[in-house]
């Protein structure tokens, strides 16, 4: 018996597979339409609504939103108290990002280049585990750790290093009764909470740097620090930038940590939360919310100019 050159169709699955084979664009369309709708309508749509709101203003007496185009609300951002909020937030976000990058790099480097088998599993668990527990629980835990009666102060006094904390708390700008009421406490908690978001993209980027690249650098006479600055860092930069986008924008928008830990100074996120909720000043809240978006755009443009994405 001679067998046929083609096999009979076994039903719908075969017919669909055939259809997609004949028209590959169709499958792509089916797959990306739902996420595109989500992105287009829900995400970009709300962003557009936000942008629109920011060009409205509020009537100072009645508190009613006037739906007329104006730049008055943006002008309000430049009032001393609001400018103060923006500067404080950007400064915090920048220092948190820098600290995260410095802390994350050796961890990511170890995980990418040395950790194998169970060590790798331990690394992922160690980085991800904090993300499994509630954000609020972690922040309150830190409040207790950093409090005057907390373990940090207790340990410092026990080892006679209490003067370090006192010294830290007397630095202008970082004053507070204890670490948990000092801006330094806010900084510490931000760094702790966002660190995994810096480690993971960094590790992914470092893993893509082949070992022979580092050997080539050494072979050509580079010291380890030269290799770091001229080969490892430029090649890992897309990962560092990706991580910094997380830490930077998350800090820019967070409104819970500064409420719980620190000196209750306002940050952009907190300002948006209060203006939107308590004050009912949606236009100013929207204008505040546009600030991080602009900052991120400027940041990414600068990073691109500096060649951060050349290695992609």
User: Where along the sequence are the contacts to other proteins (CB under 8 A)?
Assistant: 210, 212-213, 215-223, 226, 230-231, 234-235, 307, 310-311
Q: Which is nearer to other proteins, 147 or 235 (CB)?
A: 235
Helix (H) or strand (E) holding 251: helix 233-253
Count Cβ atoms below 10 Å from residue 19 Cβ, excluding itself: 11
127, 133 contact by CB (below 8 A): no
Q: How far is the CB of 302 from other proteins (least distance, A)?
A: 18
Alpha helices in 170-263 (DSSP H): 183-207, 211-219, 224-227, 233-253, 257-260
Q: Which is nearer to other proteins, 160 or 221 (CB)?
A: 221
Q: Which is nearer to other proteins, 231 or 284 (CB)?
A: 231
Q: Which is nearer to other proteins, 48 or 306 (CB)?
A: 306
Q: How far is the CB of 117 from other proteins (least distance, A)?
A: 15
Count Cβ atoms below 10 Å from residue 51 Cβ, excluding itself: 14
Q: How far is the CB of 227 from other proteins (least distance, A)?
A: 8
Q: How far is the CB of 208 from other proteins (least distance, A)?
A: 10
**Residue whose C-alpha is closest to residue 258's, from 248, 271, 247:** 271
Q: How far is the CB of 230 from other proteins (least distance, A)?
A: 7
Q: Which is nearer to other proteins, 237 or 289 (CB)?
A: 237
d(CA 308, CA 237): 6
**Residue whose C-alpha is closest to residue 177's, from 165, 192, 188, 160:** 165
């Amino acid at each position: 018996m001679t067998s046929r050159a083609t096999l009979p169709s076994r039903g719908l699955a075969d017919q669909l597979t055939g259809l997609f084979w004949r028209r590959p664009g169709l499958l792509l369309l089916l797959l990306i339409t739902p996420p595109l709708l989500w992105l287009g309508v829900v995400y970009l749509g709300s962003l557009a609504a936000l942008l629109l709101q920011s060009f409205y203003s509020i009537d100072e007496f009645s508190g009613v939103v006037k739906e007329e185009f104006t730049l008055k609300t943006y002008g309000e951002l430049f009032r001393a108290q609001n400018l103060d909020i923006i500067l404080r937030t950007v400064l915090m976000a920048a220092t948190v990002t820098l600290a995260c990058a410095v802390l994350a790099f050796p961890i990511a480097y170890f995980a990418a280049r040395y950790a194998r088998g169970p060590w790798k599993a331990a690394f992922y668990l160690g980085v991800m585990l904090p993300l499994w527990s509630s954000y609020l629980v972690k922040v309150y835990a830190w409040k207790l750790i950093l409090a005057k009666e907390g373990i940090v102060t207790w340990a410092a006094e026990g080892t006679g290093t209490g003067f370090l904390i006192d010294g830290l708390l007397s630095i202008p700008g970082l004053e507070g009764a204890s670490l948990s009421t000092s801006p330094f406490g806010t900084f510490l908690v931000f760094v702790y909470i966002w660190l995994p978001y810096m480690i993971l993209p960094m590790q992914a980027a470092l893993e893509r740097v082949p070992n022979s690249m580092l050997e080539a650098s050494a072979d050509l006479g580079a010291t380890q620090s030269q290799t770091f600055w001229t080969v490892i860092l430029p090649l890992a930069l897309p990962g560092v930038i990706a991580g910094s986008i997380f830490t930077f924008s998350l800090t820019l928008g967070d409104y819970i940590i500064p409420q719980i830990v620190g000196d209750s100074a306002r940050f952009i996120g907190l300002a948006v939360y209060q203006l939107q909720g308590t004050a009912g000043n949606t236009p100013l809240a929207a204008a505040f919310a546009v600030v991080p978006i602009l900052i991120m755009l400027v940041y990414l443009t600068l990073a691109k100019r500096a060649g951060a994405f050349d290695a992609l």
